[in-house]
Amino acid sequence: RDLIEKSGQTLAIRAAEKNLELACRVAPNLPDRWVGDPGRLRQVLINLIGNAIKFTDEGEVVVDVSKGKPHSSDPPGTTPLRFSIRDTGIGIPKDKQASVLDPFTQADASTTRRFGGTGLGLAISRQLVELMHGELELKSRPGQGTEFYFTAHFPLADEQVIDPKKELNRLAGLPVLLVDDN
Ligand code: ATP
Ligand code: MG
């Protein structure tokens, strides 16, 4: 828990150091309680928000949480959550958009020197999202920005009841704004 709060503060500090706006917005119609694995959810969000900050020099990183599309295999009474992490960063070239989700793959070889990292963050995130019966997807326009999004459907083994707003607050070290969907 402490470690997670530190990662959250680190994300907020890193965004502030780069003069990036870091905003978290939660749809008003979300349930306050979600049954899932907070540790794994946090890990995915930390990876994706961390990437968004790392690969953005100017502008903003926006995290949106809304109700996800229900799936027939969802346990009764559970609401899937859709997360989107969008940045105004360097983007990912079209021909690399599929492969960056693979282990040890980075969009360009010079990226490692420029930004560091091993190319594992997204591969791990994808696996964790799949454990939540979702899929990690992305849209990106080179030079304009990138959006990663996924829906977390499912309680995992060590499920707990969590409040998504509090989780985000803790992660990003920022108050979460309630926004209207439309
Ligand atoms: P690690 O996460 O292991 O520290 P990494 O960040 O390079 O290293 P991944 O998180 O797996 O690895 O990302 C893979 C590659 O995808 C990155 O090296 C980068 O080229 C590209 N990428 C990921 N997220 C973004 C983003 N938000 N904007 C632009 N490129 C991105
Ligand atoms: Mg990464």
For the whole model, what pTM was predicted?
Answer: 0.86
pLDDT band, residue 75 (cuts 50/70/90) = confident
Encoded tokens for 31: 């349930």
Q: Measure 119 CA to ligand 1 centroid, in angstroms.
A: 6
Q: Which of 14, 22, 43, 106 to mutate to test the pocket of ligand 1 (most atoms within 8 A of CB)?
A: 106
Segment 157-171, tens digit of pLDDT: 445 566 767 777 666
Which residues does 3 contact at the CB level (< 8 Å), separation at least 6? none
What pLDDT, on a 0 to 100 scale, did the predictor assign at position 154? 60
Higher-pLDDT residue of 28 and 182 is 28
Residue 116 has pLDDT above 80, yes or no: no
**How does pLDDT run across 36-68, given as a tens digit for each residue?**
777 788 889 999 999 999 999 999 999 998 888
Q: Are 47 and 78 in contact (CB under 8 A)?
A: no
pLDDT given at position 8:
65
pLDDT score, position 5 = 58
What pLDDT score was predicted for residue 166? 72
pLDDT greater at residue 32 or residue 120? 120
Of residues 33 and 58, more confidently modeled: 58
For the complex shown, is ipTM > 0.90?
yes
Tell me what the mean pLDDT of segment 93-97 comes to.
94
Sheet holding 177-178, edge to edge: 137-141, 145-152, 81-87, 60-67, 21-26, 177-178
Of residues 149, 150, 152, the one with CA closest to residue 133: 152
**How far away, in angstroms, is 182 Cα from ligand 1 center?**
31
Q: Which residues approach ligand 1 with their CB closer than 6 A? A: 47, 51-52, 55, 87, 89-92, 100, 105-107, 111, 117-123, 146
pLDDT band at 156 (very low <50, low <70, confident <90, very high): very low
123 Cα–ligand 2 center, Å: 9
- Are residues 115 and 54 in contact, defined by beta-carbon separation less than 8 angstroms? yes
